Chains A and B, each alone.
Chain A
Amino acid sequence: MKDSNGAQYRFTLAVRLSHWIWLLAFAVLVSSGLQIFNAAPYLDASDASNPARRVLSIDSPQDGVGTTTLFGHTVKTTGWLGWTDDGEGGKTARAFPGWITIPSYQDLADGRRWHLFFAWVAVLCWLTWIVSSARKGNLREMLLSRSDLPKLWPMQAYYLRLRKTPPPYGTYNPLQKAAYTLIGFVIAPLVVLTGLALSPGVDAISHPLTMLFGGRQFARLWHFAGMLALIAFFCVHVFQVATQGVVNQMRSMITGWYRGEHA
Chain B
Amino acid sequence: MKRQLFIATSISAALAGCAPIGTALNDNAGVRKVLASVEGIDDAFIGSSGALAREYRESDVAPVFRVNGFATPSDANYRGLLASYYAKYRLVVDGAVERPYAFTLAQLRALPQSTQITRHDCVEGWSVIGKWSGVRLGSVLDAVGPRSNAGFAIFHCMDRDDSGTPYYESLDLRQAYHPQALLATSLNDEPLDPDHGAPVRLRVPTQLGYKSAKWVNRIEVVENFAHIAGGNGGYWEDQGYEWYAGV
A residues in contact (CB < 8 Å) with B:
27-28, 31, 36-37, 39-40, 47-49, 87, 98-105, 107-110, 112-114, 116-117, 120, 198-205, 207, 216-217, 220, 238-239, 242-243, 246
Task: Give the chain A neighbours of B39 by CB distance below 8 A.
Answer: 116
Q: Which of B52-60, B135-143, B159-167 contacts A (4 or more CB under 8 A)?
A: B52-60
Q: B19 near A40 (CB under 8 angstroms)?
A: no
Q: A40 near B122 (CB under 8 angstroms)?
A: yes
Q: Which of B26-34, B78-86, B94-102, B182-190 contacts A (4 or more CB under 8 A)?
A: B26-34
B residues in contact (CB < 8 Å) with A:
3-4, 7-8, 11, 16, 18-20, 22-23, 26-27, 32, 34-39, 41-42, 46-47, 49, 51-54, 60, 62, 66, 119, 121-129, 205-208, 236, 239-242, 246-247
Q: Kindly state the separation between the CA atoms of A257 and B52 in the bound complex, as whole angstroms.
A: 52
Q: Out of A40, A114, A117, A246, which one reaches B126, CB within 8 Å?
A: A40
A interface, over-half SS: helix
Q: Kindly state the separation between the CA atoms of A76 and B239 in the bound complex, as whole angstroms.
A: 34
Q: B23 near A112 (CB under 8 angstroms)?
A: no
Task: Give the chain A neighbours of B4 by CB distance below 8 A.
Answer: 239, 242-243
When A and B form their complex, what is the total count of cross-chain residue pairs whose Cβ atoms lie within 8 Å?
A: 138
Q: A109 near B241 (CB under 8 angstroms)?
A: yes
Q: Kindly state the separation between the CA atoms of A199 and B16 in the bound complex, as whole angstroms.
A: 31
Task: Give the chain B neighbours of A37 by CB distance below 8 A.
Answer: 125
Task: Give the chain B neighbours of A114 by CB distance below 8 A.
Answer: 26, 35
B interface, over-half SS: mixed
Take A103-B23, A113-B32, A205-B46 as given contacts and tell me if A48 and B119 are in contact as well, using a CB distance cutoff of 8 Å.
yes
Nearest residue, chain A, Cβ from B208 = A200
Q: A246 near B121 (CB under 8 angstroms)?
A: no
The CB with the most chain A CB atoms within 10 A, among B49, B127, B205, B247, is that of B127
Q: A204 near B53 (CB under 8 angstroms)?
A: yes
Q: A217 near B51 (CB under 8 angstroms)?
A: no
A-B contact pairs, 6 of them (CB 8 A): A48-B119, A102-B23, A108-B123, A110-B240, A204-B53, A205-B51
Q: Kindly state the separation between the CA atoms of A217 and B62 in the bound complex, as whole angstroms.
A: 14
Q: Out of B11, B47, B123, B206, which one reaches A112, CB within 8 Å?
A: B123
Q: Kindly state the separation between the CA atoms of A36 and B126 in the bound complex, as whole angstroms.
A: 12
* Cβ of A79 to closest chain B Cβ, rounded Å: 15
Q: A201 near B247 (CB under 8 angstroms)?
A: yes
Q: Out of B7, B11, B34, B123, which one reaches A117, CB within 8 Å?
A: B34
Task: Give the chain A neighbours of B66 by CB distance below 8 A.
Answer: 49
Q: Kindly state the separation between the CA atoms of A233 and B128 in the bound complex, as whole angstroms.
A: 34
Q: A109 near B240 (CB under 8 angstroms)?
A: yes
Q: Out of A31, A108, A199, which one reaches B18, CB within 8 Å?
A: A31
Q: B128 near A48 (CB under 8 angstroms)?
A: yes
Task: Give the chain B neighbours of A205 by CB distance below 8 A.
Answer: 46, 49, 51
Q: B127 near A216 (CB under 8 angstroms)?
A: yes
Q: Kindly state the separation between the CA atoms of A98 and B16 in the bound complex, as whole angstroms.
A: 10
Q: Kindly state the separation between the CA atoms of A105 and B34 in the bound complex, as whole angstroms.
A: 21
Q: Kindly state the separation between the CA atoms of A197 and B163 in the bound complex, as whole angstroms.
A: 36
Q: Kindly state the separation between the CA atoms of A77 and B241 in the bound complex, as whole angstroms.
A: 31
Q: Kindly state the separation between the CA atoms of A92 and B7 in the bound complex, as whole angstroms.
A: 32
Q: B246 near A100 (CB under 8 angstroms)?
A: no
Q: Out of B7, B23, B34, which one reaches A242, CB within 8 Å?
A: B7
Task: Give the chain A neighbours of B32 by CB distance below 8 A.
Answer: 113
Q: B47 near A201 (CB under 8 angstroms)?
A: yes
Nearest residue, chain A, Cβ from B123 = A108
* Cβ of B174 to closest chain A Cβ, rounded Å: 13
* Cβ of B204 to closest chain A Cβ, rounded Å: 9
* Cβ of A175 to closest chain B Cβ, rounded Å: 19
Q: Kindly state the separation between the CA atoms of A243 and B2 in the bound complex, as whole angstroms.
A: 11
Task: Give the chain A neighbours of B34 by CB distance below 8 A.
Answer: 117
Q: Kindly state the separation between the CA atoms of A99 and B39 in the bound complex, as whole angstroms.
A: 27
* Cβ of A109 to closest chain B Cβ, rounded Å: 4
Q: B38 near A116 (CB under 8 angstroms)?
A: yes
Q: Kindly state the separation between the CA atoms of A27 and B54 in the bound complex, as whole angstroms.
A: 34
